Amino acid sequence: MSIAQIHSVDELHQYIAQPGKKLLFKHSTTCPISAKANEEFQAYVQSSGTPAAVVHVIEDRPVSNQIAEDFGIKHESPQIFLLEDGEVRWNTSHWKITRDAIKEAVNS
């Protein structure tokens, strides 16, 4: 399962609108915590088949800001969301982003 990279607000809204469960990960390419979270995220996605997308918060800041605005959830980085039918079912950030935590959220 490949991870889509979202570069525009249009792409973001198309992704959110898709039915079913999916993951959205906000990744800072300059942050060591985010690098670790990204490893966990990638490991989960490779083993699960859950649709997933990533936003690079520095390179695509408008998209990152739009996520905070759309969901009313304060921006953090790294940050992950479990979306289902256009709504956030779960989110967490920083060191709490682990393969096991993602798996538990998706399966609950």
Pick the CATH number of 4-107 from 3.40.630.30, 3.40.30.10, 3.40.1190.20, 3.40.50.2000: 3.40.30.10
* Position 53 pLDDT exceeds 80: yes
Q: Residue 74: is it exposed, middle or buried by C-beta count within 10 angstroms (0-12/13-18/19+)?
A: exposed
- In the structure, what pLDDT confidence band is assigned to residue 14 with cuts at 50, 70 and 90? very high
* Position 1 pLDDT exceeds 90: no
Q: Is 86 helix (H, G, I), strand (E, B) or coil?
A: coil
Q: At what angle do helices 9-17 and 61-71 cross, to 10 degrees?
A: 40
**Do the beta carbons of residue 63 and residue 71 sit within 8 Å?**
no
- In the structure, what pLDDT confidence band is assigned to residue 24 with cuts at 50, 70 and 90? very high
pTM equals 0.97
Average pLDDT, the chain: 96
